[in-house]
Chain A
Amino acid sequence: MADGFIGTSVKRREDAKFLTGRGNYTDDINRPGQLDAYIIRSPHPHAGLGKIDVSRALKQPGVVAVFTGADMTADGIGGLPCGWLIHNKDGSPMVEPAHPPLATGKVRHVGDPVAVVIAETHAQAKDAAELVEIAYQELPAVTDATLALKPGAPQLFDEAKNNLCYDWHLGDKAAADAAFAKASKVAKIDLINNRLIANAMEPRAALGEFNRATGEYTLYTTSQNPHVIRLLMGANVLHVPEAKLRVIAPDVGGGFGSKIYHYAEEAIVTWAAAKVNRPVKWTAERSESFMSDAQGRDHATHGELALDKDGKFLALRVSTVANLGGYLSTFATAIPTWLYATLLAGVYTTPVIYCEVKAVFTNTVPVDAYRGAGRPEASYLLERLVDVAARETGIDRAELRKRNFIPKTAFPYQTPMAVQYDSGDYPGCLDAALKASDYAGFETRRAASQKVDKLRGIGISTYIEACGIAPSAVAGALGARAGLYEVGVVRVHPTGTITVLTGTHSHGQGHETTFAQIVADALGVPMESIEVVHGDTAMIPFGMGTYGSRSLAVGGSAILKAVDKIVAKSKKIAAHLLEAAEADIEFKDGKFSVAGTDRSKTLGEIALAAYVPHNYPIETVEPGLDETAYYDPKNFTFPAGTHICEVEIDPQTGSVTVVKFTAVDDVGRVINPMIVEGQVHGGVVQGIGQALYEGCVYDASGQLVTGSFMDYCMPRADNLPAFAVGHHTTLCTHNTLGVKGCGEVGAIGSPPAVMNAVIDALKPYGITHLDMPATPEVVWRAIDSARPPRAA
């Protein structure tokens, strides 16, 4: 592959529209005759749903319709599907309760949609909603997953005894137990991976439209994967064939996982548009986002690491209770299982691992993937546990990690948790990060902080993740109900300009730039001649969308596969035009030449011949130059790296300041360094957010306490330092580009680095663990209740 645009920080083509206010987000779109929908949501965490009286609301000015769950049921509307089937330890399938778009019979969390008011304006719909009378019979609620499992806890579903969705495991329990029996040291930890709210800056929105002439539905939606929404909503919920359902995800203002899922509001506005025969738009108010966007994490875990006398890891045992919320969100069930336990080997040679997971229904907003999804939970547990082991054995934290790293020469490396890593250099990443962060000089800095009565700490995390989920057949065997390939189309037009269609979706990642870079290099044409199109099921044949850092590794590979087909066909056409044998045609820098001669045709000339086939090998080659490829990955990709965080704590206030953050990541080949670094910055800050600021809180009665930006603390510019971001690259061995993925590394590597630093800083107080977020209150209370600091 020619080196041209790949590896250079090409400025983004997306930026001009966003910088001038010309972005086109779902809420910016208005259709003729459009109505506004307001969703009435349950104020109760758990209640029986009695009579709903809509008569007064219907008489209000501007109100066109009010619908309830009964209306959807009467129309045969189905429930929101779950896309991943998990089996219990005994082989039986998980409990999979119905999830109606508008609640029927019962509400199961604050924010559960109950009715929709459709009116000429938002204000009219919202005013009328006040007059819908709903009889709730309040029930006791449970929001903590561990409590929900206990006998006597409030029950969400009749079919889910003790609120258990599944009791799953992976690994060899007997072998793990045997290894623990022989261990010279066992390190243990109990920790909570705090529940988070993604809070993409653009609130979700959905606009449904129905064309009576053609019977076609169109949905504009804030989605990371419009084809998945078309599939799930068409087949499972509305029972509309694909050919009559168009889903458009225009500019989308951030996703972080929360815009993967098929949400109730998408089905409601699409269905309602046909009912009222006018377009219907719903846009979330932020307080609605807090109680309706799928939330993330929420694990309670016990972990144990067995070590021999030299500090070699012998075995790992993990037991996790995962909170799934009130219903199963689209991919909820896969997160605490296949996206979590499979990564518990981390970057280490631990030979035996056993993990069991109980997934539990509670009266909270459904939980699903949030940036990293399962992998941050695995990484956090493992990296905290390794620090516990280091402290208890007295081995330096970097040294203990080095003793247990999978060596650079061991790839491909089969872990005991089903996955095979293809490439990596974990010691190389660690060494680079130790150097960049001046780990060796830390104690001097600690002493300097001490002089001004500050506690300084340093924390390391050497993480791994799995991206580009991967081969469809494997995912299917593990319970996935969808394929996980990607689709790329390369369409060379008669004048030689090119449209690239991708089934992935860009909502901040810069695909329009990156994908143009790879096609420009592969075809030897200027970037300006390439247009990248995504986000419309009517234009793109199919696609699985963007999540799990898959877009370049899977979507980019599909595009390159289509490029290969273009080149192969072009060679046939060139051979005809140049009156040479096909085998003698060489393609380089955008030109098809007869080997050893100066006779050549440009891609543009080939394209013109393909569309105006006057002099053309019409007997053997079809006209046109437009190729589609489906790429099913051969394996996951495994980005990895080292993050080192340095914090300073004011013991008087408990406030933690991140003073230095160093990331050295191996994301495979870097196509656009500027974009990759931006992805790492954003991910690291979301991870720092999880560690120090963010936490979704429900009170004992089940009310969502953190229901606005005033209550849920996200990192602001003045909370953060500048970052040092570097790369230590090994190439992925099973895709042409050698890419691994960079969207999630920041959010996976950083939380344990921050928390290890916080615990290191608090060492003088004998504090060995704190749960996230380490807010000033948490840290201050820990200091206050700890014994007085040891004399210096």
Chain B
Amino acid sequence: MPSVSLTVNGRKVSAEIEPRTLLVQLLREKLGLTGTHVGCDTSQCGACVVHVDGASIKSCTILAVQCEGADVLTIEGLANGDKLHPMQEAFREHHGLQCGFCTPGMVMSAVDLLKVNPKPTEREIREWLEGNICRCTGYHNIVKAIQAASMQAGS
């Protein structure tokens, strides 16, 4: 079995894996990082979004072995200790989550949006989220949360 070594949430890890193992399987099954979720099998829902080398990616769409040497950030590594990341705080403040299942992917995706486009319009936020499905919130409060986080970042 091949092995893979990478950095996850600032910690160096390595694991022996079947070559067909997806990054999300490595995270959930080998590393116990169950905050990253699997909501579909066609790369549509975005519940599994993490950052690889600073950019958001659906972790169901990349093999773990492709991440050799990569720097991976998951939802578990986003907060600074007990202090929530401003995006997490904005989701809480604006009720941007209900059942919580799409939330990790939604938050990781939103964090990347503001890196790419710090002051997105409502339309740009909605278009960016096209790859993240939420069935609970109707997106209304997710969009509000991201708008609020973007304002805060600029203040």
Chain A residues in the interface with B (C-beta under 8 A)? 9, 11-12, 14-25, 27-28, 123, 198-203, 251-254, 256, 285-287, 507-510, 674-675, 677-679, 681-686, 708-710, 714-718, 720, 722-723, 746
Contact of B141 among A17, A18, A678 (CB under 8 A): A678
What per-residue 1/0 map shows which CB atoms of B93-125 lie under 8 Å from chain A?
A: 101011111111001000000000000001101
Q: Is A716 touching B129 in the complex (CB atoms < 8 A)?
A: yes
Q: How far is the CA of A158 from the CA of B33 in the complex (A)?
A: 50
Q: Is B44 touching A710 in the complex (CB atoms < 8 A)?
A: yes
Report B-chain residues with C-beta under 8 Å of the C-beta of A28: 28, 34
Contact of B101 among A20, A25, A722 (CB under 8 A): A25
What per-residue 1/0 map shows which CB atoms of B11-48 lie under 8 Å from chain A?
A: 00000001010000000100001111111111011010
Known: A19-B88, A200-B99, A508-B98. A681 touches B140 (CB 8 A): yes
Q: Is A675 touching B84 in the complex (CB atoms < 8 A)?
A: no
Known: A201-B47, A716-B130. A19 touches B143 (CB 8 A): no
Which residue on A lies nearest to B124, using beta carbons? A718
Q: How far is the CA of A522 from the CA of B12 in the complex (A)?
A: 51
Q: Is B126 touching A718 in the complex (CB atoms < 8 A)?
A: yes
B149 at interface by CB-CB < 8 Å: no
Contact of A20 among B84, B95, B102 (CB under 8 A): B84
Report A-chain residues with C-beta under 8 Å of the C-beta of B79: 19-20
Q: How far is the CA of A17 from the CA of B34 in the complex (A)?
A: 12
Report A-chain residues with C-beta under 8 Å of the C-beta of B35: 20-23
Q: How far is the CA of A717 from the CA of B138 in the complex (A)?
A: 8
Shortest beta-carbon distance from A370 to chain B in Å = 12
Known: A18-B100, A508-B100. A201 touches B133 (CB 8 A): yes
Report A-chain residues with C-beta under 8 Å of the C-beta of B41: 285-287, 708
Q: Is B135 touching A200 in the complex (CB atoms < 8 A)?
A: yes
Q: Is B97 touching A19 in the complex (CB atoms < 8 A)?
A: yes
Which residue on A lies nearest to B107, using beta carbons? A19
Q: How far is the CA of A714 from the CA of B101 in the complex (A)?
A: 16
B74 at interface by CB-CB < 8 Å: yes
Q: Is B135 touching A123 in the complex (CB atoms < 8 A)?
A: no
Contact of B138 among A20, A123, A287, A684 (CB under 8 A): A684
Known: A685-B138, A723-B140. A201 touches B130 (CB 8 A): no
Q: How far is the CA of A286 from the CA of B41 in the complex (A)?
A: 6
Q: Is A20 touching B88 in the complex (CB atoms < 8 A)?
A: yes
**Could you tell me the dominant secondary structure of chain A's interface residues?**
loop
B8 at interface by CB-CB < 8 Å: no
Q: Is B101 touching A201 in the complex (CB atoms < 8 A)?
A: yes
Report A-chain residues with C-beta under 8 Å of the C-beta of B133: 201, 709, 714, 716
Q: How far is the CA of A756 from the CA of B93 in the complex (A)?
A: 35
The 13 sampled A-B contact pairs (Cβ below 8 Å) are A12-B92, A19-B97, A21-B104, A25-B37, A27-B34, A123-B18, A201-B99, A201-B102, A202-B99, A708-B42, A710-B42, A717-B126, A723-B140
Q: Is B99 touching A678 in the complex (CB atoms < 8 A)?
A: no
Q: How far is the CA of A508 from the CA of B33 in the complex (A)?
A: 22
Q: Is A509 touching B98 in the complex (CB atoms < 8 A)?
A: yes
Q: Is A20 touching B137 in the complex (CB atoms < 8 A)?
A: no
Report A-chain residues with C-beta under 8 Å of the C-beta of B102: 201, 253
B75 at interface by CB-CB < 8 Å: yes
Q: How far is the CA of A224 from the CA of B37 in the complex (A)?
A: 20
Shortest beta-carbon distance from B111 to chain A in Å = 12
Report B-chain residues with C-beta under 8 Å of the C-beta of A256: 135
Q: How far is the CA of A709 from the CA of B42 in the complex (A)?
A: 7
Shortest beta-carbon distance from A152 to chain B in Å = 38
Report A-chain residues with C-beta under 8 Å of the C-beta of B143: 717, 722
Which residue on A lies nearest to B104, using beta carbons? A21
Known: A19-B84, A19-B91, A708-B40. A718 touches B130 (CB 8 A): yes
**Could you tell me the dominant secondary structure of chain B's interface residues?**
loop
B64 at interface by CB-CB < 8 Å: no
Known: A682-B137, A718-B127. A251 touches B40 (CB 8 A): no
Shortest beta-carbon distance from A254 to chain B in Å = 4
Report A-chain residues with C-beta under 8 Å of the C-beta of B138: 681-686, 715, 720, 723, 746
Report B-chain residues with C-beta under 8 Å of the C-beta of A714: 133, 135
Q: Is A201 touching B45 in the complex (CB atoms < 8 A)?
A: yes
Shortest beta-carbon distance from A716 to chain B in Å = 5
Report B-chain residues with C-beta under 8 Å of the C-beta of A254: 98-99, 101, 135-136
Shortest beta-carbon distance from A644 to chain B in Å = 16
User: Lowest 10 CB-CB distances: which A-B pairs, in order?
Assistant: A21-B35, A253-B101, A18-B100, A508-B99, A685-B138, A508-B98, A709-B44, A681-B138, A21-B75, A28-B34
Report A-chain residues with C-beta under 8 Å of the C-beta of B40: 286, 708-709
Shortest beta-carbon distance from B63 to chain A in Å = 14
Shortest beta-carbon distance from B66 to chain A in Å = 18
Report A-chain residues with C-beta under 8 Å of the C-beta of B6: none
Which residue on B lies nearest to A18, using beta carbons? B100
Q: Is B98 touching A510 in the complex (CB atoms < 8 A)?
A: yes
Report B-chain residues with C-beta under 8 Å of the C-beta of A722: 122, 140, 143
Q: Is B76 touching A21 in the complex (CB atoms < 8 A)?
A: yes
Contact of A681 among B39, B101, B141 (CB under 8 A): B141
B142 at interface by CB-CB < 8 Å: yes
Report A-chain residues with C-beta under 8 Å of the C-beta of B74: 21
Which residue on B lies nearest to A253, using beta carbons? B101
Q: How far is the CA of A675 from the CA of B133 in the complex (A)?
A: 20
Q: How far is the CA of A685 from the CA of B47 in the complex (A)?
A: 19
Known: A21-B36, A21-B75, A708-B40. A199 touches B135 (CB 8 A): yes
Q: Is A508 touching B78 in the complex (CB atoms < 8 A)?
A: no
Q: How far is the CA of A153 from the CA of B20 in the complex (A)?
A: 46
Q: Is B126 touching A15 in the complex (CB atoms < 8 A)?
A: no
B65 at interface by CB-CB < 8 Å: no
Shortest beta-carbon distance from A223 to chain B in Å = 13
Report A-chain residues with C-beta under 8 Å of the C-beta of B33: 21
Which residue on B lies nearest to A507, using beta carbons? B99
Known: A708-B40, A716-B133. A253 touches B100 (CB 8 A): yes
Q: How far is the CA of A16 from the CA of B47 in the complex (A)?
A: 17
Q: How far is the CA of A251 from the CA of B37 in the complex (A)?
A: 13
Q: A18-B100, A123-B20, A716-B129 are in contact. List 15 more A-B contacts (CB 8 A).
A: A11-B92, A12-B92, A15-B100, A19-B84, A19-B91, A20-B75, A200-B99, A201-B135, A202-B37, A508-B136, A675-B95, A681-B139, A683-B138, A709-B133, A723-B140
Which of B99, B101, B130, B134 lies at the interface centre, i.e. has the most chain A CB atoms within 10 A of its CB?
B99
B56 at interface by CB-CB < 8 Å: no
Report A-chain residues with C-beta under 8 Å of the C-beta of B95: 9, 11-12, 674-675, 677-678
Q: How far is the CA of A709 from the CA of B58 in the complex (A)?
A: 15
Shortest beta-carbon distance from A15 to chain B in Å = 4
Which of A12, A198, A683, A716 lies at the interface centre, i.e. has the most chain B CB atoms within 10 A of its CB?
A716
Report B-chain residues with C-beta under 8 Å of the C-beta of A286: 39-42, 45
Which residue on B lies nearest to A675, using beta carbons? B95
Q: Is B92 touching A678 in the complex (CB atoms < 8 A)?
A: no
Q: How far is the CA of A18 from the CA of B136 in the complex (A)?
A: 14
Q: How far is the CA of A22 from the CA of B37 in the complex (A)?
A: 11
B132 at interface by CB-CB < 8 Å: yes
Report A-chain residues with C-beta under 8 Å of the C-beta of B20: 123
Which residue on B lies nearest to A688, using beta carbons? B138
Shortest beta-carbon distance from A456 to chain B in Å = 20
Contact of A202 among B36, B39, B129, B130 (CB under 8 A): B39
Shortest beta-carbon distance from B19 to chain A in Å = 11
Contact of A682 among B47, B107, B123, B136 (CB under 8 A): B136
Q: How far is the CA of A286 from the CA of B93 in the complex (A)?
A: 31
Q: Is A678 touching B137 in the complex (CB atoms < 8 A)?
A: yes
Report B-chain residues with C-beta under 8 Å of the C-beta of A24: 34
Shortest beta-carbon distance from A282 to chain B in Å = 14
Report A-chain residues with C-beta under 8 Å of the C-beta of B91: 15, 19
